[in-house]
Amino acid sequence: MPDSITLAWPGGPLQGTAQLPASKSESNRALIIQALAGNGTLSNLSDANDTQLMRRLLANSIADTLDAEDAGTVMRFLTAYLSVTNRQALLTGTARMRERPIGVLVDALRQLGMQIDYAEKEGYPPLNIKGWGANLPAEEMAELTVRGDISSQYISALLMIGPQLPGGLRLFLTGKVGSRPYIRMTLSLMQHFGADCRDLGSVLEVRPTSYKPADYAIEADWSAASYWYSMVALSPAGGQIHLPGLRRHSLQGDQAIVGIMEKLGVATEFVPDGVLLTQQPPTGAFSQDFTDCPDLAQTVAVIAAAQGISVEMTGLESLRIKETDRILALQTEVAKFGATLTEEKPDVFRVATTDFEVNGQTVATYHDHRMAMAFAPLALRGPLTINAPQVVRKSYPSFWDELEQAGFKA
């Protein structure tokens, strides 16, 4: 792809059908569980780079070094998977991945008896994974205490290997638990493949019941759908988009976009094959906690700024350790359009607009797919340029093609 892409909207309401990628979150969990179960057919797997990378690394049983690139789920899930399957390897990643902490997960796995060494900086990848080594796994149920406010990917990584432990696993979660829908997704997928696991609130319990091969169809991605919600909200009057493949009863926490966008100008109708989005008047200022859906924060911040709606945003703590410091990136980029994202008190941010205008600005994406896709809908208000558009390959490789199909000019 080129180094940048300039988008413009030719006029008239946005209408039609957009194809979403399959859920990356479901796909990567299902791949790990399928590998532990030994078989089963997964249909509608995501074509996102993270998922294709996971497939390749799981299939590679001989390499001494495995590169998780910039994929958080790949790094965290494989750390646990390689350890429990006694696969010895150096697990590394991009420069940014080597800045993202993993000590909480490594400490937990070490408590289970697994041998993992840091190859460079203590607490960060790359990791020398050596499996059980000479440590015999305990026959009684393993018990671990884990902070609930860490990345849910750590918790999911531990849960998924629970059925492989001779005595099973009991996790005690302390403090505020973030991204709980992702934990529920993990448990639901585990149960689909025969695991005996329970969510008891602050305690998660996995019995030592082996996985069984099963088939599973991946749902379309609600995180990706959020960008089409933005486009319908910003469309000239009459905007409407059909999104096939989404389910009313979803495992994905980012289905929360339905309720959030009711306030920002989009109505959702569930139809037999997905959802139909229709423009409606926004309701005005509101508060939103993103603890359970942090990947929606950029979408909502940008659309609220463009709509001139003040939104108080909480639950953003995990955004600082994503592909980039997403809070700083948002603050920098919305300022180019006449908006602010201000921390009014610790962990409480407010989006506000002074004189919002789209008039040819260039948006930096910071190696972050969600920065590119959160700002792209602003092209409905005026021309703008997105730098490094190839970042969308991480989760939605066909994003720019879908925009072109919808009528955007690039």
Edge-to-edge strand list for the sheet holding 127-131: 65-67, 89-92, 127-131, 115-118
Under 8 Å between Cβ of 31 and 54: yes
For residue 189, what are the β-bridge partners?
none
3-class DSSP assignment, residue 170: strand
For residue 67, what are the β-bridge partners?
92
Select from 78, 59, 81 the least CA-distant residue to 68. Answer: 78
Structure tokens at 281: 């008047």
Torsion on CA atoms 177, 147, 316, 230, rounded to nearest 10:
-50
**Burial status of residue 342 (CB atoms within 10 A of its CB: 0-12, 13-18, 19 or more):** exposed
Cα separation, 83 vs 74, in Å, equals 14
Phi-psi region at 300: left, alpha or beta (left = phi > 0; alpha = psi -120 to 50): alpha
For residue 386, what are the β-bridge partners?
5, 363
Q: Which residues are catalytic?
A: 295
User: Is the bond preceding residue 101 a cis peptide, omega within 30 degrees?
Assistant: no
Structure tokens at 283: 């309701």
Segments in 318-389 forming alpha helices (H) = 326-334, 369-375
Select from 218, 99, 197 the least CA-distant residue to 155. Answer: 197
Structure tokens at 375: 């700002």
Cα separation, 119 vs 129, in Å, equals 10
Q: H-helix or E-strand containing 72?
A: helix 72-84
3-class DSSP assignment, residue 242: strand
**AA identity, residue 253:** G
Q: CA angle, corner 134, sides to 130 and 137, nearest 5?
A: 90
